[in-house]
Amino acid sequence: MNQTPMLEVRGLYKYFPVHQALADSLMRRPHSNVKAVDDVSFSLARGEVLAVVGESGCGKTTIARTLIGLEALTKGEIVFDGKLVNAHSQQPHIGLKQLRKRAQMIFQDPYESLNPRATIFEIVAEPLVVHGMIKDRKERVAAVKSALDDAGLRPAEDYFMRYPHELSGGQRQRVVIASAMVLQPELLIADEPVSMLDVSIRAEILNLLRDLRQKRGISIVFITHDLSTVAYFADRIAVMYLGRMVEIGPAREVLQNPQHPYTKALISVAPVPNPRLRRERVILQGETPNPINLPSGCRFHPRCPVAVDMCKENDPQLIELKQGHQAACLLVTKS
Amino acid sequence: MSENGNLFLRNLAGFWKTFRQNKLGLAGGFLVLVAVLVAVFAPALTDYDPSDIIRDANNRALTFAPPEVHGILGTDDAGHDVWSQLVFGSRISLVVGFMAGFIAMFVGSALGIAAGYFGGAIDSLIMRITDVLLVIPDLPLMLVLVATIRQMELKISPLAVLIVVIGLLYWTSTARLIRSQTLTIKERQFVARARAIGAGHWHIIRKHILPQLMPLIVANTVLILSTAILIESGLAFLGLGDPTKPSWGTMLNFAFDRSAISNGAWWFYLPPGIAILWVSLGCILLGNVLEEMLNPRLAAHHLEGEAGMIAIADVESKG
């Protein structure tokens, strides 16, 4: 088995410059940035599923878009299969086009991610066309058919000539998955693939992703705000808050023994299908701070139920607590 | 692929079903269709050649003969048959108008897509050129251009000069419209998905942007046609047409020069005027209805009464 991690992210920053008003620019006020992703590092082993969890605006979608090159990173390094993603590097590197042949992304909204004027066949065959693969017509039809089959759209031929608007949301997401899998990628970046779907369909799509992973051994970065879907099939969980990873570790460990107060609060409010079970819920106070002017010290301290004075001054780093379980909280490291 | 063909036919049938309901659109289509048919079957519609001189019994040219005396629309100052001039003139007017319109549409769409899709410096450059062309008064500029090119004696047909000048000056509104639409399409998720797959710019423009723009381009082309025909008539009226191949504008120019109005020869100046009105009205009606039907943002099927009026007002303010 290849020991090189599928994906390694080192010190990733993504700032979006805020458009400056004329007055500010005349007064020479410094440019401000939305710090969408602020120093994030993680790695993903081959065949592993990493779930990135966090509330809206914490930067998890930005990470997904940066990984596939839809956003240019501000600072940091992305290493895919031991090669730096940057065609101009001196080190062993991989260009975006090559990366996009081996890594695919699934978007959140299945209603928006399919071209309304393309047939399902065209959509699923598109990656093959773009990368000039499987030029023989019969083989291409066979490849599209098997991709649709694997995605659970059977009989595949019935879908070839249909348009996206003739399909349901779940079927559309299956088309998106078929199109992502037709190139047999090694890495799949799934940006909230089920959050727009009905609960009844979610499980089907998640099962489908799990089956694909078991059959093909692909690695998945699974982005979600929903902890209950995470528990379902992630190997590891990374929790994000305001552009920073606050906790990362094996899924079971993080869910059963959360260390960061933000993770504890998230887990405490996740619904449990047992009405008799009473748990103490941690309801966070206040709003998420503005990602342009981050709070001093620990960025979670204004909402943290257990914050103490030193949290206002010291910005905690991820500290290894147990084998592979890291959290960024001053109180945790102390105890 | 035959299955694709069937889908196309099915779409077309659905389109016709909606189109049939729209009286204005049908009227516009009828006007345009009649003009095109007249141009195509011109020789069958008249017994005379436009350059034939009609003579009376004494072998003298029959000048300013009213319709009661000769043919359908009488004769002009030199004794040419007006009806045959009108019928053959439709060919010139329509060919110049259509070709100029298509050039304008092609240039405008290409520049609009480039500006909207690539943005940045390319966008600024194209949009500044557009602004400059928009603020220069069209007619004087065209007069100067056409006259200058004629002076150079390049042995190009005067009609070709007219076509190119109109075509290369009338793309600005199309370019702005297409640019703004491209800007919205570019941000849609299926374009992001295509990029994430690894598709290049050319592939994205051809497969994802252009198909969404097509309805808009079609509707806009029909509208541009009417402008091009009007401009051609205007330039020809000012004497920049090809005197050997008279269009409707050239006929008006002759009528005006040779005092048809003071002679009361209405059969000489009214018919070409009405013909120009006929075609441009037809194009405008058809273009507006097509735009309304094909552009989902202007769709008004579910709006009734006053709300429907708002949708139509929207179309007009865009035109």
Instruction: Give the Å distances, CA to CA, from A210 to A60, A194, A206, A213, A218.
Output: 21, 13, 6, 5, 10
pLDDT tens digits along A73-122? 888 889 998 888 876 777 778 888 889 999 999 998 888 899 988 899 99
The residue whose two tokens read 């089956």 is: A211
* A115 vs B contacts (CB less than 8 Å): 190, 194, 207-208, 211-212
Q: For residue B226, which amino acid is it?
A: S
pLDDT tens digits along B249-266? 888 888 888 877 787 788
Q: Report how far residue B254's alpha carbon sits from residue B268's, in angstroms, rounded to the nearest whole number.
A: 9
pLDDT tens digits along A214-256? 888 899 999 988 887 787 788 999 999 998 999 999 998 898 8
Confidence (pLDDT) at A127:
93
Q: Report how far residue A135's alpha carbon sits from residue A120's, in angstroms, rounded to the nearest whole number.
A: 18
For residue B253, give the nearest of B267, B236, B265 by alpha carbon.
B236
Does B203 contact chain A (CB < 8 Å)?
yes
Does residue A123 carry a pLDDT above 90?
A: yes
CB of A69 closer than 8 Å to CB of A51: no
Confidence (pLDDT) at B158:
82
Does B196 contact chain A (CB < 8 Å)?
yes
C-beta atoms of A130 and B196 within 8 A: no
CB of B97 closer than 8 Å to CB of B235: no
Confidence (pLDDT) at B34:
92
Confidence (pLDDT) at B2:
41
Instruction: Give the Å distances, CA to CA, from B82 to A59, B46, B230, B266.
Output: 75, 10, 20, 11
Which residues are CB-neighbours of B70 under 8 A, at least 6 positions away? Answer: B54, B62, B81
Confidence (pLDDT) at B8:
57
pLDDT tens digits along B187-209? 999 999 999 998 989 999 999 99
More confident residue, B263 or B296: B263
CB of A40 closer than 8 Å to CB of A9: yes
Does A158 contact chain B (CB < 8 Å)?
no
Confidence (pLDDT) at B208:
92
Residue B300: which pLDDT band, with cuts at 50, 70 and 90? very low
Does A87 contact chain B (CB < 8 Å)?
no
What percent of chain A clears pLDDT 70, i.e. is strictly above it? 98
pLDDT tens digits along A305-331? 888 888 888 888 888 888 889 999 888
Confidence (pLDDT) at B3:
44
What is the average pLDDT across B74-94? Answer: 84
Q: Report how far residue A95's alpha carbon sits from residue A105's, in angstroms, rounded to the nearest whole number.
A: 16
pLDDT tens digits along B211-228? 888 888 888 888 899 889
In chain B, where the domains are located: 27-54+65-297
Q: What is the ipTM of this complex?
A: 0.85
Confidence (pLDDT) at B305:
42
Lowest mean pLDDT among A1-15, B231-245, B293-307: B293-307
Q: Report how far residue B60's alpha carbon sits from residue B289's, in angstroms, rounded to the nearest whole number.
A: 51
Residue B186: which pLDDT band, with cuts at 50, 70 and 90? very high
More confident residue, A142 or B154: A142
Lowest mean pLDDT among A156-170, A279-293, B2-16, B115-129: B2-16
At A25, which helix (H) or strand (E)?
Answer: helix A22-26
Does residue B127 carry a pLDDT above 90?
A: yes
First-to-last alpha carbon distance for chain A, in angstroms, is: 38
C-beta atoms of A130 and B199 within 8 A: yes
CB of B171 closer than 8 Å to CB of B104: yes
Confidence (pLDDT) at A87:
67
Interface test with A, best of B197, B209, B297 (most A CBs within 10 A): B197
Q: Report how far residue A79's alpha carbon sits from residue A81's, in angstroms, rounded to the nearest whole number.
A: 6
Confidence (pLDDT) at B306:
44
| Domain B27-54+65-297, CATH among 1.10.3720.10, 3.40.47.10, 3.40.190.10, 3.20.20.70 | 1.10.3720.10
C-beta atoms of B198 and A118 within 8 A: no
The token pair at A251 is 């899924």
Give the strand pairing for A49-53 and A219-224: parallel
Backbone phi, then psi, for A189, in 5-degree steps? -110, 110
pLDDT tens digits along A259-282? 999 998 888 888 777 777 777 777
pLDDT tens digits along A33-75? 888 898 899 999 998 999 999 888 888 899 999 999 888 888 8
What percent of chain B clears pLDDT 90, i.e. is strictly above it? 28
**Residue-wise over A259-289: b if at least 16 C-beta within 10 A, else e?**
bbbbbbbbbeeeeeeeeeeeeeeeebeeebe
* Partners of A219 in beta bridges: A187
Q: Please give the mean pLDDT across all residues of chain B.
A: 82
pLDDT tens digits along A134-143? 888 899 999 9
CB of B289 closer than 8 Å to CB of B25: yes
* Partners of A7 in beta bridges: A44, A80
More confident residue, B75 or B277: B277
Does residue B13 carry a pLDDT above 70?
A: yes
CB of B286 closer than 8 Å to CB of B130: no
Does B199 contact chain A (CB < 8 Å)?
yes
User: Within A91-181, where are the H helices?
Assistant: 96-102, 120-130, 137-150, 157-160, 169-181
What is the average pLDDT across B96-107? Answer: 92
What is the average pLDDT across B166-184? Answer: 91
The residue whose two tokens read 């023994």 is: A257
Does A173 contact chain B (CB < 8 Å)?
no
More confident residue, B111 or B42: B111
